[in-house]
Each structure stands twice: as structure tokens, then as C-alpha cells.
Structure 1
Amino acid sequence: MAENKVLLVDGMALLFRGYFANSYGGYIRKTKAGLPTNAVYGFVKYLLDACKTFNPSHVVCCWDMGSKTFRTDKFNDYKGNRPEAPADLIPQFDLVKEVVTGFGIPNIGVVGYEADDCIGTLSKQLSAHMEVFVLTGDHDMLQLVDERVKVVIMKKGPSNYAVYDADKLLEEKQLTAKQFIDLKGLIGDTSDNYPGVKGIGEKTATKLLVEYLSIEGILENLALLPKGVKAKIEAELEMLHLCRELATIHCGAPVACTPEQCLWQPDQAKIASMFEELEFNSLVKDVTRLIAVS
């Protein structure tokens, strides 16, 4: 019998991707009553495709719970460059969680932490029981790769995934999962709006980490570095340590989920009724096919 596996879904990553994939040309999918559903429709398509591709026995969906977290307490500008959510996406934040509940999947999130932290925490808890697949579009999650944890990065197009285990991460990025945190400390993250060390790019940072293994190793060997690189790091030591802290997924968030709570047992009749209400008629066949092979 195949080992159980849990799919940990980065809800916001799927929802935003679903919104922009289904708002081209300014057209927004809505119900006859005028409720926007384009993001939820895209979310469901991505979720069903991932379930078909990876055939999980368990599924959990994790969410951000507001913009204020322990990271914004440490660095006020963290994610400060993010634009406001489009007006027709806002009502879909609650709607998508109702849909996830309708699938019988737990929604997990906690104020003060990001979805990443919830996923990191649950990956540690659930990997004791089964193989873990993290579904996301966010390369920050690569730091979670472990013997029992694979990170699935969604790429453009349906059923197009890059699945990272430790070997693939080393082969493609030349780094271990732990080194990936140090990489972000060095180069920062423009999408999360923290700077890293000014003037240090990914190529230089990767070379340093391959040679000296960690930020500590680099700092112990500053005298051996080219003068320009040494000067840049020395000028930004405080920011370097702060950015590594911001980049680190917190795997001790106050969340929990047992295997029994996230067993993937979709109720076909319930889902069909929910899809009828949302006018997702074209997706009913997809669910029927998925349940037949699950």
C-alpha cells in the first residue's frame, strides 16, 4: 500500500494566481447575482489539478490572517510595497474559505503569523506520520525541504510543477534548504520588501555560501573576501542578520492538525451542490473524475 501523503496548500498563492489568471482583458467572472468568483474559480482549478497530479490522502489549506505579523514588528517596511487587493478580490477572501470547508479541507491560519509559518509548523508535525508536499508559488518555501518534505512550485500552465527534494535543490540552486535562508538574508527579497546586503546579488551570494557554507562562515572569513564584497557586508551587518530573521519560516507557530483532521474525503454530492450555487458547472466533471481515481 502506498504511503499516505499530505498536500499543504498555500491558499493565498493559489487565490492570487487564480485571480490574475482569470481577469485577463478586464473580464471578471461573476455569478448571476453579481458576486465575483474568478479568483475562487482559479483556486479550485489549481487545487483539483494538484490533487489529480499528486493524489494526496490528506489535504490542509493555510492562510495569512492580516498584514500585521511578528515580522512587521521587527521591520516596519516588511511587505510595505504590496498594493491594496483589487476591489473584486476582497469578497472572495471569505468565499474561498467557505469553498475549502465545502471540500472537507481544514482552513488553518493564526493572527500574527504568515501562512508560510503555519505550513512550516504543520510540515514538521505531519512529516512524523506521512510524506509532505507543500503546494505554493513562493520560492521562500524551499527552506522547508527535508527528507520527508517536498516543495512543489507551481509554474505557468496547467499541471506544470517543479518538485524539489534535497537532491533537486542542490542540483538546481547549489544550496541546501538551510543555506537557502542565508541566501535570502544576503540578497533580500523585493517582493517582501527587505533589502539584504546592498550590492550583493544571487550569483555572488551563492558562490559565498558554496565556499563558506553559512553567513557565520562568511563572517569568519571576511578577510579572505574581495575588498568590495567585504566592504558591502561590513556596512550592512545589522541588516544582514535582520533579513535572515525575516526570511526564516517560523516552524513553531501555535497551530496544529492531526492526520485524522485533514483526511481527504471529498463528498461528491456536497461539492456538486456548492458548484451549482457558484455557477462552476464546468468543474463538476473534474471533481467526479478526481473522486473516481482518488
Structure 2
Amino acid sequence: MTQNNKQSVMLVDGMALLFRAYYATAAHGYIRRTKEGTPTNAIYGFIRYFWDAVQAFGPTHVVCCWDMGGKTFRGDHFAAYKGNRAEAPDDLIPQFTLIRDVMDSLGVPNIGAEGYEADDCIGTLACHYSRDENMNVLVLSGDHDLLQLVDERIKVIIMKKGQGNYMVYTPASLMEEKGLQPRQIIDVKGLMGDTSDNYPGVRGIGEKTALKLVQEYGSIEGILENLELLSPSVRKKIENDLDMLHLSRRLAEIHCAVPIVCSLESSLLRLDHGLIVAKFEQLEMKSLCTMMGVAVGS
């Protein structure tokens, strides 16, 4: 729940929740559908995940952030960025629009920006809201890249396997678990790259070596200033891939100046029971009304 009697805003990584919800059921061969055949399994699972987090952490305000599709500025820097990603499954595609309609019915703003990713929108809003000393910021995702946003006013909640299982990261818990300060997450990713986002970092340097280097020298700049202290093998790898090292770090860094606006007033969590019932009835998932404590008329 919220602490110190402050209000809190939860920034939801919509893409992470929707994909997680889809594959949680699709992996077992079951796709929930309406009588007309519209797939709704990801929506159903998304709302279960979402509402569990709301109950667990008690935000007073909620915003949901989305990728908009199409090219991003990272793709402009590195053409192969995310080039290894398969197309979304056919049963998931119509649910991208439907879930935004559902969040609208809950009164939750849907935020995205052309040319940027959901992470960038989350980072921008987190930095903006955290300037209000009366507001705690909670980021809900399964994406460890967002740990770079952690600070004294921003907690990142990572969804673990199984509903209701979370790891809440603060600067202290991040240091305890990974031995890193939040900004050092970017340097580690710059060195080791990211296979899921398809950028290489420094060829031949994996996570273990990247962590050791950043922990010992503090940053990529610190490493480059002390190349003569590195083993000949590691030094050669870095020197041979300097351009990609700097590029990979730029790709890893969340952009926190996206041209978006979302007022706290518009993100206040106020449920309109009539709107919610109508939407869930349309999607044939009235059981979610009961889960959320929304009364369904006779």
C-alpha cells in the first residue's frame, strides 16, 4: 500500500502485461474467445494481473503506457534493433486495440508516442511525477531494463512467475541483489548487449564480465580510462568494438524527455461501475466485475 500517507501513481507497462497474459494461456493451447470468436485471453489475464497489483500496492493514480508500433528513434540509430522479433500472434493482434478500450472504461489513461517505446513514456512520466514530493511513483513491469529508473522516489515492481509474486526494487534492494546503482544498468547493457532487443554490445563480453567491469570501475568511462589495467583479452575486445559499445549504451538508455503530457488529475483511479460492467459484458467476462468488486445489476 502507499506509504507515509502520500499518494502514489502506478505506471503500467501495458506491453509487458499483455504479452505475459497472452502466453500464460496460449502456451497451454487455450484461447479465450467471445461467442463471435473474438480472442480475449490476453485481455482477461491482463486485468487479473493489473487488478492484483492495484490491490497489492494501492495506487491512487494509474497510467498505462504502450508501444505505438512502427519505427522508433532506436531503429534509426541501429537498423537491426529488435529485428529478430517475430510478428505478434494473430490471436493477439486484435487485443491490442481492445485492451486500450478496456482501460478507457476503467478511467485509466492510455499513453504512447510515435517514435518511442513504452519504456520511454514510463521513464518520462516517472521523472515528471517524482518531482512532486507528495507523490510516490511505482512502475509495474516484467522488464528489468526499467530498473535504471529506480531512485528514492521511484520504485520498480517486477512481476515474477505466478500471479501476485513481485520483487520491488529500491536503490538499496537493487544494490543488494545486483551490486549496481540504477544508472549502471545502462553501462552493463552497453557492454553485454541485449539479445531480445538484438543489439550486440561488445562481442565476447557476457553478463558476468560486464557486471564485474562496471562494479570495479563504476562506468563505461571508468573502464575506458583504465584499459591498461584490464586483461589483454578483455581490453582487445573493448577496443575492437568501441563504436558498438557506445551505440549499445545509447540503445539501452531509456529516453526521459518524450513529448507527452498526462496530468495527475486525469490519472486518478475512479471506477465508473456502469462503464466497467458494460465493457466486461460486451467481452463476455463478467466474472472480472466480481473480482474487482463492481456490482452487476440484475
Match of 1:124 in 2: 127
2: CA distance, partners of 1:96 / 1:168: 33
Instruction: Give the drift of 1:187.
Output: 0.4
- Find out whether 1:263 has 2:268 as its counterpart: yes
Aligned mates of 2:294, 2:167 — CA distance in 1: 24
User: Which residue number in structure 2 is paired with residue 148 of structure 1?
Assistant: 153
CA contact (8 A) 2:75 2:81 kept: yes
Report if aligned partners of 1:268, 1:288 keep a CA contact under 8 Å in 2.
no
* Distance in 2 between residues matched to 1:192 and 1:231, nearest whole Å: 25
How far apart are the structure 2 equivalents of 1:23 and 1:279?
Answer: 19
Q: Deviations over 1:10-60 (max 9, x none)?
A: 000000001101213322100011111011111111110110110100000
Letter aligned with residue 232 of structure 1? K
**Amino acid of the residue matched to residue 109 of structure 2?**
P
1:101 counterpart = 2:88: no
Query: What are the within-5 Å matches in structure 2 for residues 180-199 of structure 1?
Result: 180-199=185-204
After superposition, residues 132-211 of structure 1 pair within 5 angstroms as: 132-211=137-216
TM score, norm. by length of structure 2: 0.95
Shift of 1:207: 1.1
Structure-1-length-normalised TM-score: 0.96
Query: Partner letter of residue 180 of structure 1?
Result: I
List gaps (5 residues or longer) in structure 1: none
Residue 282 (structure 1) aligns with = 287
In the other structure, the counterpart of 2:219 is 214
1:289, distance to aligned residue in structure 2 (A): 7.2
Q: Is the 8 A contact 2:277 2:294 kept in 1?
A: no
Q: CA deviation at 1:268?
A: 2.1
Q: 1: distance between equivalents of 2:217 and 2:70?
A: 35
Q: Aligned partners of 1:35 and 1:87: how far apart in 2? A: 11
CA distance in 2, matches of 1:154, 1:237: 34
Give the unaligned 5+ runs of structure 2: none
Equivalence for 2:236: 231
Identity of aligned residues (%): 61
Look up the match of 2:19. Answer: 16
1:39 counterpart residue number: 42
| 1:78 and 2:81 aligned | yes
Alignment partners' CA distance in 1, 2:224 and 2:131: 35
CA contact (8 A) 1:132 1:148 kept: yes
Helix, strand or coil: the match of 1:177?
A: coil
| Distance in 2 between residues matched to 1:268 and 1:162, nearest whole Å | 31
Which residue of structure 2 aligns with residue 30 of structure 1? Answer: 33
Aligned length: 290
What is the SS of the residue equivalent to 2:157?
strand
Among 102, 111, 114, which residue is 2:117 paired with? 114
Instruction: Indicate conservation of the 8 Å contact 2:273/2:294, yes or no.
Output: no
Residue 268 of structure 1 contacts residue 287 of structure 1 at CA under 8 Å; is this kept in 2?
Answer: no
SS in 1 for 2:137: strand
DSSP 3-state at the match of 2:167: strand
